[in-house]
Amino acid sequence: MEKTAAGYTYGTSQIATSPFSLENLKLLQQSMLFNDDDIKYLQMSYDILKDQTNAILDVWYGFVGSTPQLVYFFGNKSTGEPEGDYLAKVRARFELWILQTAEANYNQDWLNYQYEIGLRHYTIKKNKTDNATAVPIVNYRYIPALTIPVTATLKPFLASKGANVDDVEKMYNAWLKTVLLQTILWGQPYMKEGEF
């Protein structure tokens, strides 16, 4: 992936090693029926999605923006007004997240970055990357919940480039699994060691 964005520290020395191991990642993936076929179909989605990321983000941001309990997390901690600069900076990284997810390269860098994303939703790093002054935490319940709108609204984009119905279904299912997997991993900072 050649693109980058402010604060997108994937694969750099600026982020810590995930306390979650690659071995445990495999066991978690198994329990989600996530297999090599899912990797294949995620990678198939890369070329389909790469020129549609802006349109996808318009839909996702449209949904977040029109759902007060979600846009709340981008709101200034005093006034509650959504912070435009914060929204824009997250959006730029969100685009890379789409591409990275489609690359489906589940290595140590990937795992470390999941932990970093978790920290950025939690009190530990919320707002810091973007010097935002928004509310101090994303309540965890909303994170795995977003698996549904993210993947449901992605399906038409997966279908828009002529892939056959069966492949679209398999790409969608692979996306469903990996988004849920990632949102689960982002929960680690919210829980005590040994309970996550």
Cα separation, 82 vs 75, whole angstroms? 4
Q: Does 106 bind a second copy (CB under 8 A)?
A: no
- Tokens (6 digits) for 51: 């020129």
Q: How far is the CB of 12 from a second copy (least distance, A)?
A: 26
Q: Does 176 bind a second copy (CB under 8 A)?
A: yes
Give 10-16 contacts, CB < 8 A, sequence gap 24+: 10/96, 10/100, 10/109, 10/110, 10/113, 11/109, 11/113, 15/112, 15/113, 15/115, 15/116, 16/112, 16/115, 16/116
Q: Which stretch binds a second copy (CB under 8 A): 48-56, 92-100, 104-112, 183-191?
A: 183-191
One residue of 148, 156, 160, 161 binding a second copy per CB under 8 A: 148
Q: Which residues contact 8 (CB under 8 A, 6 or more apart)?
A: 92, 93, 96
Q: How far is the CB of 114 from a second copy (least distance, A)?
A: 12
Q: How far is the CB of 111 from a second copy (least distance, A)?
A: 13
Binding mask 26-55 for a second copy (x = CB under 8 A): -xx-xxxxx---------------------
Q: How far is the CB of 143 from a second copy (least distance, A)?
A: 9
Question: How many C-beta neighbours within 10 Å does residue 77 have?
Answer: 12
* Residues at the contact surface with a second copy, assessed by CB under 8 A: 27-28, 30-34, 67, 69-70, 122-123, 137, 139-142, 144-149, 152, 176-177, 180-181, 183-185, 187-188, 190-192, 194-196
